[in-house]
Amino acid sequence: MNKYQKKIEDFKNRFDELERNLQSAEMSSNPQKLQAVSKEYKEIKEILDHFQELEKLNKEIAELNESLKSESDREIKQLTEEEVVNLSQKKAGLENHLNEILFPGDPLNKKDIIMEIRAGAGGDESALFAADLFRMYSRYAERQGWKIKIVSASRTTIGGFKEIIFEVSGKNAYGNLKYESGVHRVQRVPETEKSGRIHTSAATVAVLPEAEEIDVKINPKDLRIDTMTAGGHGGQSVNTTYSAIRITHLPTNLVVQCQDERSQLQNKERAMMVLRSRLLAMEQEKKMKEIAKTRKSQVGTGDRSEKIRTYNFPQDRLTDHRIKLTLHNLEKILDGEMNEIIDGLKTADKE
């Protein structure tokens, strides 16, 4: 328990401080700060509750082990030993969970994310596959109790996406989905294919930790900001006000466009959020490639051009090429049942 003690004491002190802050008059007049403090308060309370549960389990296990020393009845002794095994397993699971929270491998794991899905090779079929991937991540997020908000989308006439950028907000969103970056390949018979031939197409996914101003500093002189009218399907004008925003970061030539919000100010804020996240992701990718030079990583380098997964519909099979994981029942996976994939990737990365 010693390895937790110092951190737990720090959390208890911080918890008391946050409790006082929540009761202060200042909070009622600052909704944004109230939301941030409430979120941290809830996270720390969960940690302290886990630690109390762990202490309770340790006490129960110690008492049962002590009773075994004097127990002579074979049946009672067997039942007690089984209870010790059950409690020990529960304790191990709780310790693993606490280790992930208290000693995280990646400080960005708790962050919300920006996900970008783009159709690749394969024309209309790749755009439809991009829509399938968006639905898969949306359903997974829904199962986790997370929120999704579309930042921008370029739709096709048959229901696909040339590109969709969206925000995912929720507990450990980056920690769970960061391994999804890369090329996703699909093999299936398109609905438009009359001869029944299997086509191969692809879509790329980028997962960016959502960056705040304190994470990435941007010089306003490095930006070119253009305004335009928002467009609908096929370029059709949907309003006559200049609410859409395009921001170009001149040093890197990164371009971000946002038109889904109603006002120019809201679109600018969301475009800046995406830009900061892309710049932070570029830095992370550089670090990952440096790490990869010194150790072999099963789950890749963060390079978005790396083919990571194949979805084979005729054989109802998903293969993650990085960890040689093969699963069946694509329908369930594409409906958001991704835990087995994500757990496998996390385990491989830890190893």
pLDDT for the residue 302: 47
Give tens-digit pLDDT for 153-205.
Answer: 889 988 899 999 999 999 889 999 999 999 999 999 887 676 778 889 999 99
**Residue 179 DSSP class:** G
> 235 vs 86, which has greater pLDDT?
86
Instruction: Please say if the pLDDT value at position 239 is more than 90.
Output: no
Give the pLDDT mean for 253-268: 81
Instruction: Please say if the pLDDT value at position 295 is more than 90.
Output: no
Give the pLDDT mean for 288-315: 68
| Token pair listed for 336 | 């958001």
Band of pLDDT at residue 321, cut at 50, 70 and 90: very high
The neighbour count for residue 35, using CB atoms within 10 Å, is: 11
Give the pLDDT mean for 77-88: 90
Question: What predicted TM-score, i.e. pTM, was given to this entire model?
Answer: 0.61
| Token pair listed for 232 | 């609908």
